[in-house]
């Protein structure tokens, strides 16, 4: 089976599971979006969380940034496409209060021109740990404040300019980077 079909099937399975679990009593299903992400050069992101018990929930996360940005003398981009899935442990109850979480993330990225013209393009696979707090605002809406850090293995290529740059070098290495500074709005069904 092709990767595309496999991925699609996985996502479908995930959605079916979420629907089933939603029907099961008191488990919440929530979707959210990180506002800080949009500050990060307009990275669209979304998070689907499904509560599976009082203290646990599983999450599916996606980010997408196809944009180039150019001002008068600068050209920059921070493109990425990433998927992550993980679980969270809630101290008190799912989708309220403090949580600890772990994810596995796969990210395809191309970023450059922000600090220097040198552009890095590659894909990374790693795991992240995160920690945060969700505040109940109303029956359906939460506000999340969190932070995460991830590390893993990346395969990269360097270019000297964000656009039409010359190939400088490539490699594979281990990395650690902040994953998420999140101020999100979550909607619980």
Partner 1 sequence: MTRECIMVIAALIVISCSTTKKIEAIRSSGVKPEIAVSDGFDKETETRIMTSEYSDTLTVTGLDGERLNLMKTVTDSAGNTYAHESLDGVVVTARFKNIAERGGKIDLSFNITIPKSLQDPSWQLRFTPRMKILEDTIDLECIYVTGNEYHLSQKRGYDLYSRFLSSIITDSTLLRYSHLIEIFSKRNLSETSEISLQEILNHYRKSGKISLNNHRQSKSEKMYKKMVRNPYTTDIIRLDTVLATSSDIVYCYTQTIRAKANLKKVDVAIRGGVYKDGERLYMIPDSKPITFYISSVSSFAEDITRYVKQVVERRVQANTQAYIDFEQGRSVINPLLYENEHELWRISENIASFLNNDTYDIDSLIITASCSPEGNYLLNKQLAYERAISIRDYFKEYARRYADSLNRTNNSTITIDLERGRDNGEKIPRIVPDFSFKIKSIAENWEKLKDMVANDSLVKEKERILAIIDDDIPYDRKEYLLRQCDDYEYIRSVLYPYLRSVRFDFHLHRKGMVKDTIHTTTVDKVYTSGVLALKEREYKKALDILKPYKDINTAIAYLSLDYNASAKAILEGLEESAKRDYMLALVHARTGDEQRAVQFYLNSIGKDPAMRFRGNLDPEISALSKKYNINGYIN
Residues near partner 1 (CB under 8 A): 25-26, 28, 54, 92-93, 96, 136-140, 188
| In the complex, least distance from residue 142 CB atom to partner 1, rounded to whole angstroms | 9
With a CB cutoff of 8 Å and minimum separation 6, the contacts of 107 are 63, 80, 81, 82, 123, 124, 125
* 2 or 138: CB nearest partner 1: 138
| In the complex, least distance from residue 46 CB atom to partner 1, rounded to whole angstroms | 21
| In the complex, least distance from residue 107 CB atom to partner 1, rounded to whole angstroms | 33
Radius of gyration over alpha carbons of the chain, in Å?
18
CB 48 within 8 A of CB 31: yes
Percent helix, strand, coil in the chain (nearest 5)? 15, 65, 25
Bridge partners of 133? 98, 145
| In the complex, least distance from residue 165 CB atom to partner 1, rounded to whole angstroms | 51
CB 31 within 8 A of CB 186: yes
| In the complex, least distance from residue 96 CB atom to partner 1, rounded to whole angstroms | 6
* 167 or 187: CB nearest partner 1: 187
* 23 or 169: CB nearest partner 1: 23
Integer Cα distance of 29 and 15 in angstroms: 11
Q: What are phi and psi of 163, to 5 degrees?
A: -135, 130
Integer Cα distance of 144 and 135 in angstroms: 6
* 28 or 111: CB nearest partner 1: 28
* 137 or 149: CB nearest partner 1: 137
| In the complex, least distance from residue 100 CB atom to partner 1, rounded to whole angstroms | 18
SS3 3: helix
* 80 or 184: CB nearest partner 1: 184
């Amino acid at each position: 089976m092709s990767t595309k079909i496999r991925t699609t099937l996985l996502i479908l399975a995930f959605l079916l599971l979420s629907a089933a679990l939603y029907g099961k009593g008191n488990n919440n299903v929530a979707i959210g979006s990180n506002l800080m992400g949009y500050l990060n050069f307009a990275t669209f992101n979304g998070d689907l969380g499904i509560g599976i018990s009082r203290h646990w929930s599983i999450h599916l996360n996606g980010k997408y940034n196809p944009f180039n940005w150019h001002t008068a003398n600068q050209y920059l981009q921070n493109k990425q496409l990433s998927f992550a899935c993980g679980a969270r442990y809630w101290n008190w109850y799912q989708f309220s209060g403090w949580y600890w979480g772990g994810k596995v993330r796969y990210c395809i990225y191309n970023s450059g021109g922000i600090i220097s013209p040198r552009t890095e393009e590659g894909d990374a696979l790693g795991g992240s740990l995160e920690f945060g707090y969700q505040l109940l605002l109303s029956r359906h809406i939460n506000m999340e404040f969190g932070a995460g850090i991830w590390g893993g293995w990346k395969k990269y290529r360097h270019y000297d300019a964000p656009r039409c740059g010359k190939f400088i070098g490539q490699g594979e290495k281990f990395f650690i980077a902040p994953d998420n500074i999140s101020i999100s709005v979550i909607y619980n069904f």
